[in-house]
């Protein structure tokens, strides 16, 4: 698994962490290009990408890769911890965003098409069907997978610093890649923990929702940029 990082204006007081969707590494057109263009000069940013094998048919190796990526982002944040941090995350990136928000001081966090439980999203989502079959052939069940991936799943967190983070969440009611019902569980969890959030729902497919956000990011980014 490889990690790619791009930084700009990181000496600024406000830093946005950009966390991508799965399979974004190596694409000809960077999904964050337009988003970066819309980040004002008073904000710096750190943009990450990871190779597709970060999720694979070996649950323990996937867990190892997830923890490696999380450790890298948290280490980078701690290097400049006098800054104010914000997160913009798409799809799988939202999983990392929620965990990082519980371990670091994040003021605001944007989640585009997130889920609540990693194993459930993986098991029931349409993009990971082949990997699921490979796991089943090795005797892995959803119950076993939930246990293995417990500590790299968002619903294990929301216990510490994330209680002070304000979230902006976009969910698609027809999402089949990270099933909508898993997103609804996330909303329920936030309510139970009395965490501040704003919710926007639409009827775009998972992929088209990410494309739309990548082309027209300004409205969503305003949640961070127009902070009072």
**pLDDT tens digit sequence for 204-217:** 999 999 989 988 99
CA 29 to chain CA centroid, Å, is: 20
Report how far residue 74's alpha carbon sits from residue 80's, in angstroms, rounded to the nearest whole number: 10
Q: What's the predicted TM-score (pTM) here?
A: 0.94
Burial code (b: 16+ CB inside 10 Å, e: under 16) for 140-149 equals bebeebbebb
Report how far residue 54's alpha carbon sits from residue 197's, in angstroms, rounded to the nearest whole number: 29
Structure tokens at 104: 């670091």
How much is the pLDDT for 23?
75
- Which domains, and CATH codes, for the chain? 3-225 (3.40.50.1820)
Say if residues 78 and 55 touch (Cβ distance below 8 Å): no
Query: How large is the average pLDDT for residues 19-25?
Result: 80
Distances (CA, A) of 35 to 140, 159, 210, 218: 38, 30, 12, 8
Say if residues 71 and 25 touch (Cβ distance below 8 Å): no
Res. 101: pLDDT tops 70: yes
How much is the pLDDT for 30?
62
Res. 28: pLDDT tops 60: no
Res. 228: pLDDT tops 70: no
Burial of 184 per CB tally in 10 Å (0-12, 13-18, 19+)? middle
Say if residues 220 and 167 touch (Cβ distance below 8 Å): no
**pLDDT tens digit sequence for 85-100:** 999 999 999 999 999 9
Share of the chain above pLDDT 90, in %: 87
**Mean of all residue pLDDT scores within the chain:** 93
């Amino acid at each position: 698994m490889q990690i790619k990082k791009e930084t700009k204006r990181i000496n600024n007081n406000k830093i946005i962490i950009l966390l991508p969707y799965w399979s974004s590494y190596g694409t000809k057109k960077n999904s964050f290009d337009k988003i970066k263009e819309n980040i004002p000069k008073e904000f710096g940013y750190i943009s990450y990408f990871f190779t597709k094998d970060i999720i694979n048919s070996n649950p323990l190796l996937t867990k190892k890769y997830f923890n490696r990526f999380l450790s890298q982002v948290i280490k980078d944040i701690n290097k400049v911890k006098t800054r104010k941090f914000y997160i913009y995350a798409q799809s799988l990136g939202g999983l990392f965003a929620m965990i990082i928000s519980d371990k670091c001081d994040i003021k605001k966090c944007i989640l585009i098409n997130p889920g609540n439980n990693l194993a459930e999203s993986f098991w029931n989502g349409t993009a990971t069907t082949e990997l699921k079959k490979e796991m089943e052939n090795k005797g892995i069940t959803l119950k076993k997978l939930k246990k293995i991936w417990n500590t790299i799943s968002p619903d294990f967190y929301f216990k510490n610093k994330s209680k002070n983070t304000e979230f902006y969440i976009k969910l698609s009611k027809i999402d089949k890649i990270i099933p909508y019902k898993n997103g609804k569980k996330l909303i329920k969890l936030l309510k139970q923990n009395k965490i501040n959030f704003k919710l926007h729902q639409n009827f775009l497919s998972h992929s088209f929702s990410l494309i739309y956000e990548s082309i027209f990011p300004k409205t969503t980014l305003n949640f961070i940029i127009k902070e009072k």
